[in-house]
Amino acid sequence: MVVKVKNVGVKDLLLTEVVPSCNCVSANWDKKPIPPGGQGTVALTYELRNIGNYIQQVTFFSNVLDEPAVFTIEGVVKNK
């Protein structure tokens, strides 16, 4: 899953940390600042462990928010 991050502010946006709620999700992102009006991406990878529904949270820390932004990802793992 790829999450697009758009900077709608007036100064550079730097994602300092992206922290999934469990080690079954990994996050990779470009550590470069995103200029105002610019866009970046965060790649989230879910490690398949069980068949069925999953719900995880991912917390985004940055240089522009006093509090981190928390997002929920949901999905269903099925047999082929």
Residue 18 CB coordination number (10 Å): 22
Q: Tell me the CA distances in angstroms from 43 to 31, 56, 66, 80, one per residue in order.
A: 12, 15, 24, 23
pLDDT recorded at residue 32: 96
Give the pTM.
Answer: 0.86
DSSP secondary structure string, 3-21? Answer: EEEE--SSS-B-EEEEEES
The count of structural domains within the chain is 1
CATH of the domain at 33: 2.60.40.10
Q: Which domain holds residue 45?
A: 2-77
Nearest to 15 by CA among 55, 71, 53: 71
pLDDT in tens, 15-66: 999 999 999 899 999 999 999 999 999 999 988 778 889 899 999 999 998 9
pLDDT recorded at residue 40: 97
